[in-house]
Amino acid sequence: MITKENLKKIADYLYEIPKGFRSDMCVPARIYADEKLLIAILEDRSLEQAVNVATLPGILKYSLAMPDIHQGYGFPIGGVAAIRWDGGVISPGGVGYDINCGVRLLLASQLSRPDLNNKASKLMDALFDAIPSGVGSTGKLILTKQELNKVLEQGMDWAILKGYANTEDKQNCEESGKISAAKADKVSDSAKGRGQDQIGTLGSGNHFLELQFVSEIFDQKIAKAFGLFPNQITVMIHTGSRGLGHQTCTDYIRILNKKIYEWGLKLPDRELIYAPLDSREGQDYFSAMSAAANFAWVNRQYLTYLTRNVFKKVLGRQAELKLLYDVAHNIAKKEIYEIDGKEIEVCMHRKGATRAFGPGNKNIPENYRKVGQPVLIPGSMGTASYILAGTKAAEEETFGSVCHGAGRSMSRASAKRQITGKQIKEALEKRGIMIRCASYGEIAEEAPLAYKDIDEVINVVTKANLAKKVAKLLPLGVVKG
């Protein structure tokens, strides 16, 4: 078990487990945290997992852990690793089962909190009726296998062709909502079967659609560039690739586990299974994972389409919703960084971590290029969420990565033992936060007490200059699985 004595303080909010901590480490492990967050982080195996990640072949500079880190499958959730593309590896544990779980934020360009008046409850009812949520939820959009294959390979381009998106939506997605390496034939029939009726669904767990308002602006210049103003109504959508992504991860972990002895892998943790990027299995997984990522972008886009329709129906034409940005936080992608004066292609693993590119980066939309990429950080249910902007410092220190949320401090089972979903619903409604849910049990699992303090997590990444604080969002209503 790793203790505080094993950590070396590098700077304020930055700690390191040196490379010499264990003989199999290729690089040090670095953790962004403050003293209080460290106490929670040290209670599980997440730092041990960060050390395990530091043993992966081809890993560059550091194994990184964000302040919302907690124990995951193979990689910690909140873990980041840049692995050399040539001669390196790819790990399903570095992406997770919910491939391209991510967040998008919609802005009502002409709608502020007072404009809702007595229509907020009607709006929440309509959103809950329109948007399927909960375990195994299915949508009204049922695709043929041929159409699903197009979704998997075309991503947001398919949504535009079908009229569910516009070109501005595509521009405001990470990777423009499509990874071109995707190959539909690398996704199994069983995974496709699970995905055929799940576009436009939230699912369960910590996924949600939240009606919010801008409660505070910290940086006027960046807020203006993002199109934000005080009391503005926003909608945050958090979901991923649903059963299709989960099955894809399951399929390839099974395939890779059969290759352990053939490849002569010595794993510190069986869950940290990986494949050489130049192997057939490594390329197949990357193509299938990319296809699942494209599916997730379409899923969030169709949810956007449904949400826009509800807003227009309930509030009228002035309730137009613009997509600020869409970011993934469970993904592996090819990215290029300058390391020791050379540009190097890496397989960038972000597992419960958000891309945060700084001003001038050509990979972010031109509208935001002068101020940095919008970074969307949801809080736990009933707490604040934040809009940040990426920095050049993040690109230099963390491969352009920050946290993805508050981070769990308690298991789902423990949360359900301490509080009921009904109690949470009643407490939030007393605060004026409307809850629409498919199951009280799902609410209990996502109780605010099960998560770290979002304000502390945001404080660490902003004080460490990995992102700039732009605006704070507070919830008005939540649709949960």
List, for residues 139-187, the tens digit of each pLDDT value.
788 999 999 999 999 999 999 999 999 999 999 999 999 999 999 999 9
pLDDT at 134: 66
pLDDT at 422: 81
What's 186's DSSP letter? G
pLDDT at 3: 94
Compute the distance between CA of residue 21 and CA of residue 44 in angstroms, rounded to an integer: 18
Q: What band does 45 get if pLDDT is binned at 50, 70 and 90?
A: very high
What is the helix, strand, coil percentage profile of the chain, to 5?
A: 40, 25, 35
Q: What band does 467 get if pLDDT is binned at 50, 70 and 90?
A: very high
Per residue in 186-201, pLDDT (tens digit) is 999 999 999 999 999 9
Q: What band does 211 get if pLDDT is binned at 50, 70 and 90?
A: very high
For residues 337 and 82, the answer to whether their CB atoms sit within 8 Å is yes
Per residue in 409-439, pLDDT (tens digit) is 777 677 777 778 788 888 888 888 999 987 7
Say yes or no to pLDDT of 444 above 90.
no
Residue 58 exposure: Cα atoms within 13 Å on the Cβ side: 21
Average pLDDT over residues 228-253: 98
Compute the distance between CA of residue 31 and CA of residue 51 in angstroms, rounded to an integer: 11
Average pLDDT over residues 365-386: 95
Q: Which residue ranges make up each domain of the chain?
A: 4-409+451-480
Collapsed DSSP state (helix, strand, coil) of residue 396? helix
CA distances from 196 to 145, 192, 199 (A): 7, 6, 7
Residue 303: name the closest of 152, 121, 128 by CA.
Answer: 128
pLDDT at 1: 83
Per residue in 281-299, pLDDT (tens digit) is 999 999 999 999 999 999 9
Compute the distance between CA of residue 379 and CA of residue 451 in angstroms, rounded to an integer: 9
User: Which region among 3-12, 62-71, 73-82, 447-456 has the lowest average model confidence (pLDDT)?
Assistant: 447-456
Architecture of domain 4-409+451-480: Alpha-Beta Complex (3.90)
Residues taking part in catalysis: 404
Say yes or no to pLDDT of 50 above 90.
yes
Q: What band does 382 get if pLDDT is binned at 50, 70 and 90?
A: confident
Tokens 């907020």 correspond to: 120
Tokens 């809009």 correspond to: 387
Length of the chain: 481
